[in-house]
Structure formats: C-alpha cells, structure tokens
Amino acid sequence: MMNDRLAECYARAWRKTFDYKGCATCKEFWSFILVSTLPFLFAGAVLLVLHIWVDLWVIMFRGIGLASVMSFFSVIIIFPFMSLGIRRMHDIGRSGWWFGFLFIGSVFYFL
C-alpha cells in the first residue's frame, strides 16, 4: 500500500466510490485531492489567459462552456470525495459521521 503510485491511489478512490466501509490510506486521500484539484487549477489558468489576451465576447462564450464542464465535474467528484473522506475517518479511528459534519458545515459556510 505504501509503495502505490499516485495513479493507482487515484484509481482506487474511483473504484471504491460507493464503498463506505473499510479504510483509506493517507496517500490515497491526498492523491485524490491533488489530482482532482489539477483540472480546476488548469481551468482557472485558461480563464485568466483568456481574460488577459482575448476579447470579452470570446471569454463569455468559452468561459461558459468551461464553467459548465467544471460544474459537472464538481458534482461528479462529490461522491468519491465523500466515500474517501468517510473511509479516511475510519482509518484514523473516528466515525464516518465526523467527515459528514465537516463536509456539511463547509457547504453551509460557502453558501
């Protein structure tokens, strides 16, 4: 488990999307967070470049398409993130509800 590559840990998180029992390693959790964050950083960089170098109408057209894709990805990624977070709580000896409370609290904070 400790010698797993980043891609293997990320794939394992997707395979266990609806598995809320068991444990998740620290490497599995953080590799999923890292790899899942990269598309958002890339999209932000693309939108920044479009904003600086391209006409406003092009930004509106391409920005809406990119924002739609990123919104869809955000909704899809919630399920493995919740599963992974709950299994990570099990790994450190806590109930999975701790992660649920943290997740729900952060959602209310951003609303």
Whole-angstrom distance, CA of residue 107 vs CA of residue 67: 19
- With tokens 């959602």, the residue in question is 107
Distance of CA 64 to the CA centre of its chain: 20
Q: What is the mean pLDDT of the chain?
A: 80
Calculate Rg over the CA atoms of the chain: 17
What sections of 16-96 are H helices per DSSP?
26-53, 56-91
Provide the token pair at 33: 């967070």
Quickly state the pLDDT bin for 62 (edges 50, 70, 90): low
Residue 59 has pLDDT above 60, yes or no: no
pLDDT digits (tens, 9 = 90+) for 24-38: 888 888 999 999 888
More confident site: 73 or 66: 73
- With tokens 């806590």, the residue in question is 94
Quickly state the pLDDT bin for 64 (edges 50, 70, 90): low
